[in-house]
Structures are given as C-alpha cells and as structure tokens.
Structure 1
Amino acid sequence: MVNPECKLTVLPHVDKVIDMKQNRATFKAKVSITNPYTCQVTVKTIYYTLKTVKKDREMVKGPFTENLPKQLEQQKQEMIQVPMSVRYEHLMKLTNDIGVDWDNMYELEFKLTVDLPWARDHPISRTTIAEIQMPL
C-alpha cells in the first residue's frame, strides 16, 4: 500500500526573509504533499524543527496550524507554505557559527499527521540537511 508523500521543495534561506519584526525574522519553507489515493486525505497537523547540524542548536520549532485541517484531493499534489519565525538571538548565534568555523549547515524536519480512510493520525516524517545561503 502506498503512503502519502511529503517533499521539502524549497528550504528557508537567510536571503529569503519574508518578514522582519523587532525581535525576529520569518522564513518560509514550501512543503509539497502528494496524495496517491483515489479518495481525499486530511492533513491534521504539521510540526517543524529547524536546527544547526554541527552544534545541534535548535533555532525554532513548533506547530503550523494555519488553514488546517486541510483536505488533499485524490491523486493530487499540493504545496503548503510554512512560515518559521526565528528570534534574532538565534540568528546571531548562527552568524557566529558561520564566522568561526563555517558551520552553515542546517536540518529541517517536518512531521505531518494525516487521516486516511482506514487509519487515523497516520504520521509522515521528512528531514533534510542543506546549506544556508548567506546574502552577499
């Protein structure tokens, strides 16, 4: 039996800030979710964690609840944009890591919970590691 798929298609980059407040910057990740079934699937929850790889320093984590639960149409792919707000103190630590030992790798993990017609609260997890692109 095929499970729904979750793909991280665009990772948050330092040069992709979508909003800046007094004490935080907000980045955006795009998550592609594919429903391979001939029936609708409901995405109930999305949790995310963004952390540095080398020092295992967590920058931000939390639930994404905007527009959830979401119905995924049968045999369709849908893109969900997930904003992640990172406090400036975490960005400063990241900048220090990059300046000292070029630790500009981060890990982004998404955990989704979906309702299938035959199984409630089915978990799907995806993790990716990538390099943070600093603006020039």
Structure 2
Amino acid sequence: MSQLLDKAKNYVSEKISDVAKPEASVTNVDFKRVSGNNVEFLSMVSVRNPYSTPIPICEIRYSFKSADREIASGTIPDPGSLKAKDTTMVDVPVKVPYSILMSLAKDIGADWDIDYQLDIGLIIDVPVMGNITIPLSQKGEVKLPTLSSMFA
C-alpha cells in the first residue's frame, strides 16, 4: 500500500512541476517620502499570473538591509489579488526610522545614497497547489532627496 501511495505522490509531483507558475520580479525601488518619524521607500513588484482565474495574495514579507544589517522588515497582510492571465504591479512600502538612517551616516554621507538589499517573500494561494512563496531579492542603491528638492 505504501508503494502505491509513493507512486501516486511522484506522479502528482511530476505533473505539478510541469504546470506554469506565477513569476515575479522587483522592477523598482525608490524614495517615496519623508514623514515625522521615518523615510519611506516604495518598491514595485511585477507579478505575472498565467492562470485564467485571479489568485489571492495571502501576504507579503519583506526585509530591507543596508551595510550588512536589517534596517526595516515587515509583513503586509492581504494586499489584494493577481489579475487573471495578466501582470499585476504590487506596491511594497518600506519605512526606515530616522534613528537607523543616522547610524548609516558613513554610507549615506559618501554619496548621498543607500546601498540596499531587499528580500521579499510573496505568498500566494495557487489553486490545487495551495500556498506557495515566490522569493525575490534585489540589490541596488537608492538616492536620498536633498533638502532643497524636498521643499521645491
């Protein structure tokens, strides 16, 4: 009986591995705004849904790192769904407290930007397969605004 179950599991695994899966990529990370307590960055994630039905996004988990340390992390619960047979742009806002930015002053002061690594886990509910996580990682640099550009 256990051999039969193993064969059935292998068969299903092979068939599911051939099925098209949603694909995602980080298209942009940029400065958004300065608020009372933090600086907010906005990352844009492009997700392609190959299925003819919308897929709900269960949650988005993110980690924003600079100078080899995590400076912001969080979870965005229930951010919406992916359009059927289309590409959906998903916003992932990242808020970094001023106190942490001040500790990065050496990196920021040299060229007025933040070198970053953004790790995102996009958790979606795929029919038949259940919840899957699409891992994304992006490295780059974000230019900070100057005082004159914020008040211009």
Extract unaligned runs of 5+ from structure 2.
1-18, 147-152
- Residue from 97, 114, 125 that aligns with 1:115: 125
Q: CA deviation at 1:134?
A: 3.3
Give the TM-score normalised by structure 1: 0.82
**What code does the residue aligned with 1:7 have?**
S
| Corresponding residue of 1:11 | 29
Extract unaligned runs of 5+ from structure 1.
none
> Residues 31-46 of structure 1: matches in 2 within 5 Å?
31-46=45-60
Change (3 A) 1:29 1:36: same
Change (3 A) 1:102 1:135: closer
In 1: Cα distance, 2:32 partner to 2:81 partner: 28
Q: CA deviation at 1:101?
A: 9.5
When Rg is computed on C-alpha atoms for both structures, the one with the higher figure is: 2
- CA RMSD for the aligned pairs? 2.2
Q: CA deviation at 1:56?
A: 1.0
Larger relative helix fraction = 2
Higher relative contact order (CA 8 A, sep 6+): 1
- Mapped pair 1:61 → 2:76: no
Q: Which moved more, 1:119-128 or 1:94-103?
A: 94-103
Change (3 A) 1:63 1:134: same
In 2: Cα distance, 1:17 partner to 1:74 partner: 29
Alignment length (residue pairs) = 128
